Structure 1
């Protein structure tokens, strides 16, 4: 690692300058839309149309007040947190359990089930949304929170299992055998050995699942009808009409929706990088 750093530091100046210029330009292109969205959320609708890029002449928080009341942002935030938290925890436990079973139990059917999880990556939401809607209508869970959470878990499991599979497989079998000799059962082995040894990949799975579930739109939009079951991405859609778009309120609602994501990333970005380095890419 030190040799690599020395090579980078010893690189010719003619290579460093273009590299820094490209990185600075990429940073500006990435950050400017967020800054523009933030200060535009304090501008009235008419001012946004008249001068989209200018700073607000008379900043106002009325957009946030109206967005919170008209868009039912309070219940939408609660639903997003509820859906995301429950689905993420369930996906983590089920994916780790599946990886544990597929890698540490020598059944002939392991290859079939691993292939089934891999094949699940090829199934898109749009391909099954109509049968899923009909099935949930038949069993009576349409327009319920459980009717949203179950598809979240089902569609997130294939990727999570694939991420956990190689890491759990690398855990020495000697640890499990020693635990069995000491009298531990498989539930104790799973929660006291597999989980603690898999913290890096577990952190990666939690973060990726959280991001996918928080931004999901289709399931909530199709499988729920009442505003009391809608999540933030669907609530944001209410601010865009066919003939008129209230840009001020829409920008305020977008700021409200991305603040939790930014906070979440600032807290867990180190775990995400570490998880990718030590977990998801481990062979």
Structure 2
């Protein structure tokens, strides 16, 4: 799973937890729906494992979903553009980055967005209160080299080309349109981190609205999984979803935080995954028991 292609190291991506998430999903899915697709880490993993050949990728961030569509459907076009803009930066790379950022904020051109994502600090997207991208460049590096980027773009495209629907809708509009044979994977912003608005996102997600949307999915018998709250050491991010939803909660241990390690702290990153009632019922009692451990020694998944 670690060798799967990803075109940017997008902060918040589920590329590191995908292998654990896939363990609790069906081995065949009619269509995977991602209302908060980001860079589609779960869809990439599911396509690579031949679990589904039909995907609905949605994100309210229009330049991001337009970039994702270019990556998947026209990888050579976006690779050529990236190569040109990457090679323009060598006289003064910092000034060049800010020029590209200004152009992007004026035009919302998704091709410019790829360069910004590849070059910004820690692949960490940030927006100001006016919805303008305001993350700074990583001064230690100049972004992914064009030849590596092209390889990654082609890898993603090979897995998903011709299999996806792309939209930039409010997640509730997507959930209103899902069908009984779909499986929905939701990865909304952490409510506990962002309060009303997470700077990684153009708009905040109301906890109460999310709970209402989940209740509706339950009533409609839709299978779904949600990544929502988590922990870093003793610090908790996000409110636990209410027990009235009757979801099965799994804690996924992802290992020591690299940032905490650099600061001399031993802190483990833990993410919560919630399974819908019909999805958790599809697992046998043996499978549910085995979810407590991955491998023979290290505890990775804990059920609640």
Superposed pair shares fold, TM > 0.5? no
TM-score, normalized by length of structure 2?
0.26
In proportion to residue count, which structure has more helix? 1
In proportion to residue count, which structure has more strand? 2
TM-score, normalized by length of structure 1?
0.27
Q: Relative contact order: is structure 1 or structure 2 higher (C-alpha 8 Å, sep ≥ 6)? A: 1
